[in-house]
Amino acid sequence: MNVRMPPKTDAGFTLLEVIVAFALLATTVTVILQLFSSNLRVLSTSEDFVWATARAEAAMRETLDRENLAVGTSSETTSEGYTVETTISKVLETRTRELPLEMLEVGVKLSWSGVRGERSMVLKTMKMVKREVVGRI
């Protein structure tokens, strides 16, 4: 007696196939969301540095545009929460002793509270000025 089985039809997915597909989908979505979250943190930090750089450059331009530069240090806190510390000092005094000019180093340190705590940046440049223009604090 030969019993004939009906032909097998592939009408759907097995439970194992569905579970594996769901696990792969869940893993993929989790990785994508973590990457997105990480990118948002990096964008926030980057935005902080862009604003801080603009503030530091503005403070540097303001200092360099002054008619009378005074050797010394000054500090101020802006309404946005940035602390700007400006330092002006003489450099290369032995080389410029015989000249009617003096070389000054101008430094601007900008500090602020960012997403990941206290941050700061320093910009430095030099400016040549007439000897009688240099003042004292």
How many folded domains does the chain comprise?
1
Within a domain: residue 120? yes
86-118 pLDDT, tens digit each: 888 888 877 777 778 888 888 989 888 866 678
Residue 136 has a pLDDT of: 46
Domain that residue 62 falls in = 15-136
Given a contact cutoff of 8 angstroms between Cβ atoms, the answer to whether 92 and 103 are in contact is yes
Within a domain: residue 63? yes
Within a domain: residue 10? no
What phi and psi values does residue 11 have, to the nearest 5 degrees?
-95, -10
* Rg for the chain, CA atoms, rounded: 33
The residue to which tokens 């050797």 are assigned: 71
Rounded to an integer, the average pLDDT of 3-24 is 80
Burial class for 133, CB neighbours closer than 10 Å (0-12, 13-18, 19+): middle
Q: Computed from CA positions of residues 42, 43, 45, 50, in that sequence, does the dihedral angle turn out positive or negative?
A: positive
Within a domain: residue 1? no
Confidence of residue 1 (pLDDT cuts 50, 70, 90): low
Residue 89 CA from chain centroid, whole number: 27
Residue 75 has a pLDDT of: 87
Is the model's pLDDT at 131 over the cut of 80?
A: no
Within a domain: residue 2? no
